[in-house]
Amino acid sequence: MPNKVNNPQGSTPANNDARPSGEGVNLLKLIASLLGSITAIITAWLNFKEVLRKGVPSQRLGTVLLIGSIALLWICLFYIYTKFFARRGVSAFLTRPSVNKWLGRVALFGLIAVPVLALVGIPYYNLYRSKYNLEQSVKLIKEGNFYYENNEIDLAIARYEQSLLFNPDNPKTYHNLGEAYLQKNNLDKALENINKAISLEPDENLRVLSYLNQGLIFKRQRNWPDALKAYNKVVALRPGYAKAYNNIGTIFIEVTDYDHAIANFDKAIELDRNFAFAYNNRGKAYLLKGDVDSALRDIEQSIRLDPTNAHAYLNRARAYVKKDDKNKARADFQTVLTLSREAELVREAKEYLNL
């Protein structure tokens, strides 16, 4: 009996000192476990919903992640409740040391397992999300192309813009959107989207088309220096591209540099002997320079290659006016009215015909 300590309060002070510290550590562990569970359940649910919606065979993985995360989350919540609120009326069974200890181990397992499940689920979800986004983007681009080809430009624009929600880094979509705005003559929006397509570094074919459209936009804005820069970028990418030289020639016509215009049309025709527009444009340059015979020779070759080009008939009519051949001029102006609905062409033809 000499070694017995007669202390009615026994080890209460020691228990009271240790208890807050232990519960604080447990609380931190459980909060971490709870947050991990919440992360996992959100990830799993998104993953499961996406895979289930697509109907792929591996949707079982999403199911396992979802159910496992839900189970661990509720066990963690249950443990928190029994650990910290048991004294407020919970059943004695739940406060038994063996039950409480078991729940604590499961909660600790959740602290490790749930983030692992999340690490598995997140890449899996991202993989199928990326695939789904790509499929949706391609589908909407095809619909936009269909509407564009059928001249339903507003519907085409809507589809292209929806496509960008699924794949905002597709240069082809921005290029198509720029062309659609160009059809509506919304030059600012067209240029914005064409520039965006170029900034995303597309392949060579798309860059060539983008610079051609960029040059066309600048030309409509009467911004000749930037239009020339855009077309020269096309030549730098494709030195043998006849259309680029033809477009450069049209810029030189606008700034009344007819010799440089003719030189570029010569290059275009050298590269493509059947390039009807280049013959017509060179004929126009000769006509503006005052060489009517050369102009007629080129314009007539253009008409032989493409008898539906109203611009060629208009230029030939102008040449006949200069040669004072009124009958031929009148016949060509009539043909212009038959072939074209362009306001400027129709106006000039009607003025000459007194219509």
- Given 134, 166, 197, the domain boundary residue is 134
Rounded Cα gap, residues 230 and 213, in angstroms: 9
- Given 134, 152, 187, the domain boundary residue is 134
Residue 45 has a CB neighbour count (10 Å cut-off) of 17
* Model confidence pLDDT, tens digit, residues 296-322: 999 999 999 999 999 999 999 999 999
Q: Do the Cβ atoms of 191 and 214 come closer than 8 Å?
A: yes
Rounded Cα gap, residues 330 and 54, in angstroms: 65
Tokens of 323: 């040669």
**Region 15-34 average pLDDT:** 49
- Given 89, 116, 134, the domain boundary residue is 134
Q: Do the Cβ atoms of 115 and 33 come closer than 8 Å?
A: no
**Three-state secondary structure call for residue 92:** helix
**Region 158-179 average pLDDT:** 91
Is residue 330 assigned to a domain?
yes
* pLDDT of amino acid 34: 60
Is residue 41 assigned to a domain?
yes
CA distance to 137, 147, 155, 187, per residue, from 150 (Å): 20, 5, 10, 21
Tokens of 331: 């016949």
* pLDDT of amino acid 137: 86
Query: Would you place residue 21 in the very low, low, confident or very high pLDDT band (cuts 50, 70, 90)?
Result: very low
Q: Do the Cβ atoms of 72 and 37 come closer than 8 Å?
A: yes
Rounded Cα gap, residues 97 and 75, in angstroms: 16
Q: Which amino acid is at 289?
A: K
Q: Which amino acid is at 168?
A: P
Is residue 142 assigned to a domain?
no
Is residue 150 assigned to a domain?
no
Is residue 84 assigned to a domain?
yes
Is residue 86 assigned to a domain?
yes
Residue 333 has a CB neighbour count (10 Å cut-off) of 25
Residue 297, Cβ density class (10 Å: 0-12 exposed, 13-18 middle, ≥19 buried): middle
* pLDDT > 80? residue 68: no
Query: Would you place residue 81 in the very low, low, confident or very high pLDDT band (cuts 50, 70, 90)?
Result: low
Rounded Cα gap, residues 66 and 114, in angstroms: 11
Q: Which amino acid is at 260?
A: H
* pLDDT > 70? residue 193: yes
Is residue 59 assigned to a domain?
yes
Residue 219 has a CB neighbour count (10 Å cut-off) of 19
* pLDDT of amino acid 275: 96
Nearest to 114 by CA among 57, 43, 167: 43
Q: Which amino acid is at 238?
A: R
Number of residues in the chain: 355
* pLDDT > 80? residue 232: yes
* pLDDT > 70? residue 196: yes
* Residue 84 CA, distance from chain mean position: 53
Is residue 354 assigned to a domain?
yes
**Region 260-266 average pLDDT:** 96
Q: Using N-to-C axis directions, what is the helix angle for 242-254 and 224-237, rounded to 10°? A: 160
**Region 43-69 average pLDDT:** 53
Q: Do the Cβ atoms of 251 and 228 come closer than 8 Å?
A: yes
How many domains is the chain built from? 2
Q: Global pTM?
A: 0.64
* pLDDT > 90? residue 62: no
Give me the domain span that covers residue 258.
240-355
Alpha helices for the chain (secondary structure H): 12-54, 59-84, 97-149, 153-166, 171-183, 187-199, 204-220, 224-237, 242-254, 258-271, 276-289, 292-305, 310-322, 326-339, 343-353
% of the chain exceeding 70 in pLDDT: 63
**Region 16-33 average pLDDT:** 49
* Model confidence pLDDT, tens digit, residues 88-137: 444 444 455 655 566 556 655 655 665 665 565 555 555 556 666 778 88
Nearest to 352 by CA among 327, 311, 341, 339: 327
Rounded Cα gap, residues 128 and 140, in angstroms: 18
CATH number, domain at 261? 1.25.40.10
The mean-pLDDT minimum among 22-36, 61-75, 326-340 falls in 22-36
* Model confidence pLDDT, tens digit, residues 321-347: 999 999 999 999 999 999 988 888 889
* pLDDT of amino acid 292: 95
Query: Would you place residue 17 in the very low, low, confident or very high pLDDT band (cuts 50, 70, 90)?
Result: very low
